[in-house]
Structures are given as C-alpha cells and as structure tokens.
Structure 1
Amino acid sequence: MKKINILLVGISVLLLTSCKQEAVKPKVTYDATKGKVKSRLDTTQIEVADLPIQMEGTNYLIHPVGDLSISEGRTKSSYGSTSADRVSFTISNTSEFEITGYLRNLKFQQIGSDSIKVLTDKPVLIQTATYLKTIADKTKQQIMVYTMADRDTNKDGKLDTSDIKTLYISEISGKKLMKLSPELQDLIDWNLVESKNRLYFRTIEDANKNGQFDKNDILYYHFVDLSNLGWVVMDYKPV
C-alpha cells in the first residue's frame, strides 16, 4: 500500500509539472541577436474554400479559404470497430456581418466579374473578418476589420492561435489592407464607437521580454477615425 501511495504521489507531481510547463509556454520567442521573429506556415495541409458569402448591401463575394479538417475516429461495421478518418469540409462560420474560423486567406470577387483577388499573399491565420455595416450606412465607406496571426512569434514552426494576435483593416474589395496594431504587440480587444465613427482597440507589449503577456507588461490604447479612407492610428491615454 505504501508503494502504491508513493507511486500515486509521483504521478501527481509529474502531471502538475507538465501542466505548469504548458502554462508558461512563451507567446513570443526572440532571436538571440536581433530580437526579431519570422513567419512560418505549415505547407502540408490541403487547402479548400467554403462557398462564397455576400455581406448585405455590398457588391462583393467573399470566399473563405482554409485547411481541410481531418480527425481520426472509429466506425462500426459488420466485422466490428474499424479506424477511419473523419473529414470536415466546412472551414468557417458566418453570422450576419462576420466570418469566423481558422482561415488561411479570404478571396474577393466583384459581382459580375470572374476575377478573384486574394486579401494577402503572406502567411496569415485569420480568426475573424467583420463587415462594419453601421459605418457603411453613415459614411458610405464599406470596411472590413480582421483579427489574425501574421507571424510565427513563438517559433514553434506553426502559425496558429498561440502566436500574437493582430488587427487589420481593408476596403470591402480586400484592397488597401493595412495593419493597425503595432509590431509585436498582442491585440486584447477592439470596439466600434458608432457615434464618433471610430475604431478603438487595446494592445499589450511584452516590456520585460519574457515571452508572456501579463500584469508586468504595458497596455496601449489606440483609435482610428473611419470618417475617411486616410486611416491613421492615434494613441490616447485614458489612465
């Protein structure tokens, strides 16, 4: 009995140690000489596209592009259980004015044209793409806002949600794609204030360069005036 208790304690310690190591996985890994990070993208995945989406009041189709989702599963047959891969061809979810998922790109096609334009030719992982319908109603400008990872900041060989999240903006056509959040600052959240036609957002800087974003780091506050297409990021200090 004593040996069993010792064994159980040992297993518990190993599990706790494992969880602790997972919790402190850095979100940013800095180059030892230059403090820079590089982009990487898994090229072994199979790329597929969902059926196109048209946001209300716009003249463009949006084609979400992502990786084919394949998971292992078990199926029953007359000879018993067998292993089989389960394939999901759906890569995105769509609400009224937003597309969500883990997308490798978006492609834009003007109604009446066969030409399709990609949002970006760089490796990215798009998590949300939001059409600012209320801004379009007020200013006649049709704008998309994106949250995405655009660099393999933790250098684990993958571009995924473990990397820094960034904020981008573009016209509804996918043109004029512009990064709003500062380099190597993790996006916390963003909010549209319709009465001022402003897009507000917060970011955090890894000030102590420990690879984590926590209470010891620095918060920054920004906004962009969407009244015209001359998008300029402005800083402000509410605290």
Structure 2
Amino acid sequence: MNEILWLCFAVVDLSLVVVLFRLFGRSGLYALIVFNLILCNLQVIKTVELFGLTTTLGNILYASVYLSTDLLSEFYGKNEAKRGVLLGFVALVMMTVYMQIALKFVPTPEDFAQPHLEAIFGFMPRIALASMAAYLISQTHDVWAFHRLKERTNGRHLWLRNNVSTMVSQMLDSAVFCFVAFWGVFEGPVLAEIFLTTYLFKAFVAALDTPFIYLARKVGTQDEQFA
C-alpha cells in the first residue's frame, strides 16, 4: 500500500503543479513553493518503508518545489526563480517562528492539542534549520545550473537541464539536510540509509517530473504577464 500510495501521490502532486501553472502562471507557482515547502517540512518528521527501504516522507512535495522553480526559470527567467526561492525561505522562517510562539502560550486544563503540537513543532527548529540551509544551498545551485545548461545548449534539451540541475541539487540538499537534522538522532547506518533512500526517491521524482515540464510548456498559461 505504501508504494502504490506514494506513486499515486507523486503523479497527483506533479499534475497539480501543471494545473496551477496553467490557471495562475507565476502566482500559482509561488503559492505551490510556499505550500509544498511548509508541508514537506512537517511530513519529513515521519519515516516510512518504501520498496523495502527506510525513508522520510516529504520527498514528493519537496521535489515538486524544484519543478516549480524550474518552470519559473524556463518561462519567466532567473530572477523570478530566485524570487520564488526567497519567498519559500521567508515562509519557512515565519512558520517556524510563529509556531514556537504558539507553543509558549499556556494551554487550558481542557486543552488536548499542546502535547501533539510539541511533539511535532518542538522538533521543528532543528528540522527548519536543516531545511533552510539545505534549501538555500540546493535551490541556489539548481537555478544557477539550470540557466548555465540552458546557455551551454542554446536553449535546447529541456530534459537535460531539468534533470541534471535538479538531481545534483537534490544530492546537495539531502546531504546538508540529513547531517543537520538527524546527526545524533539516528545511528550512523540508519542516517546513511536515510540519506541514500531520501536522495534516491527525490531523484526518481525528479526524473518523473520531466514529462510534466514538457506538458506545462505545451499547455502554456493564462497568466497575462507570460508573454
């Protein structure tokens, strides 16, 4: 069930990136970056078994963030992609700060949510720090590599720049995130397995998103500023 659910979720999420790009253009992509980045940092706390390997959730949503920034790069330029990266970073910082403030409020005796919020968001500062560091490093590299490859190939081979820039950036992201988030939490072999499986699943989704970026180019967008 995990494997079937994971594959279906990947197809649905990547499809929604194309749909929102079609309907809302860059605004839809900005919204997706913020939404998926926040949600994947909640899902990543949960570890699951997929195809016999231990990995964290959140890799699908995070991979679709790369699809969104690649679409911004391809159709709106490097500056818009950088703007999307920065917007996601600011949203993640705000979520972390706001939830830490929320935990400081003294709950009523009848409250049942505080222990659950503490279990999730009490661990969030470390997760958020790891995510922010990994996100900035990997996404900055992704935007740079995407446009570098676009220049070197004279705008040809969209599949090449989409896959190479994303897969290398995902490796950087997984390495930084796993080290900062889970060092001392898991033993070495488990940490290594999480890194490897997390990257493999992200790389798989990165390859899977290739038809979707071509589909987005074919259907275009209703964004008036696109032209």
**TM-score (normalizing by structure 1):** 0.21
Q: Which structure shows the higher helix fraction?
A: 2
Which of structures 1 and 2 has the larger relative contact order (alpha carbons within 8 angstroms, sep 6+)?
2
Q: TM-score, normalised by structure 2?
A: 0.22
Q: Which has the higher strand share?
A: 1
